Structure 1
Amino acid sequence: MPHITGKFSVHITRLEPAEPVASAALGRMGLEKQFAGALTATSQGQMLSAATTTPGSAGYVAMEKVTGTLEGKQGSFMLQHAGTMNRGTPTLTVTVVPDSGSGELTGLVGRMGIRIEEGVHFYDFSYTLPGEE
């Protein structure tokens, strides 16, 4: 399974909740990313978040569409995020939505990890394409 890593930048915009909520602990944000390296792409998406009154505990889900090139192959695909922070201990799963690949990325399957080191965002992406297993 190919594995690539690179940097990305992210711009987050606060959006109005789809429906009014009594608690400010729920949020909705717009995402825009720029990926560099073996994945040269942009993405747009939305994130829903929930914070609790316990410090370090929260959760989020997000969906984003990534468009660009993956090791020279052009197309797009969707990523699904599910993140939880349990009293400061993070758990994150980011997977390619099945059958969301287009163009030369049709049939893409994969998982992405996200790291933040000294304020810089990095991705670690393991994937397969049909015929490359």
Structure 2
Amino acid sequence: MSTLTATFTIDLTPAEVLLGAADRFDLAKTWTGTVAGTSRGVMLTAGDPAAGSASYIATETFEGTLDGREGTLTFQQLGTMAGGEPELRYVIAPGSGTGDLVGLTGTLTIGTIDEDGTHHVTVELT
């Protein structure tokens, strides 16, 4: 197992709402650090975040390098908030890697988010 650190910035663009979702967003991220590259994906939301109860799911395809290994893979996210308390599951989808990233699995943890929207991430590879 190895631990990588990175940051990403995200651009969310509202998109056509899909059945079963309150909102839909297309996302684009730029990653820097030991995870470097770009990713694009889709986020679906539900609930009422202003009232402290909501959820989202997202899937994104990453292209770039993880600790110098190059290829693509898919990140999946499941975020929930109940009573204002957030919970996030953020993983590398098993079987999604190509190139030097074939066979990688792992989890991502978001640490801090800067005022400018930069997210600081730790990636635990297995």
Pairwise same-fold verdict (TM > 0.5): yes
Contact map agreement 1:13 1:31 (CA 8 A) in 2: yes
Which residue identity lines up with residue 106 of structure 1 in the other structure? V
* Residue 69 (1) aligns with residue 65 (2): yes
Cα deviation digits, residues 32-80 of structure 1 (max 9, x gap): 0001000001000000001238711110000000100111110010011
> Structure 1 stretch 114-123 or stretch 86-95: which is displaced more?
114-123
Larger radius of gyration: 1
> Structure 1 stretch 29-38 or stretch 54-63: which is displaced more?
54-63
Q: Which structure dedicates a bigger proportion of its chain to helix?
A: 2
1:14 is matched with 14
Task: Give the secondary structure class of the aligned counterpart of 1:47.
Answer: strand
Contact map agreement 1:8 1:121 (CA 8 A) in 2: yes
Segments of 5+ residues of structure 2 without an aligned counterpart are none
For residues 10 and 53 of structure 1, what CA distance do their matches in structure 2 show?
A: 19
Change (3 A) 1:106 1:50: same
Aligned residues: 124
Which residue identity lines up with residue 73 of structure 1 in the other structure? R
Task: Give the secondary structure class of the aligned counterpart of 1:82.
Answer: strand
2:43 is matched with 47
1:131 is matched with none
The ranges of structure 1 where at least 4 consecutive aligned residues each deviate by more than 6 angstroms after the TM superposition are none
Q: How does 1:24-63 map to 2 (within 5 A)?
A: 26-52=22-48, 55-63=51-59
Task: Give the secondary structure class of the aligned counterpart of 1:36.
Answer: strand
Task: Calculate the TM-score normalised by the size of structure 2.
Answer: 0.91
Shift of 1:7: 1.1
Contact map agreement 1:10 1:31 (CA 8 A) in 2: yes
Task: Calculate the TM-score normalised by the size of structure 1.
Answer: 0.86
Contact map agreement 1:54 1:87 (CA 8 A) in 2: no
Shift of 1:113: 1.2
Which residue identity lines up with residue 108 of structure 1 in the other structure? L
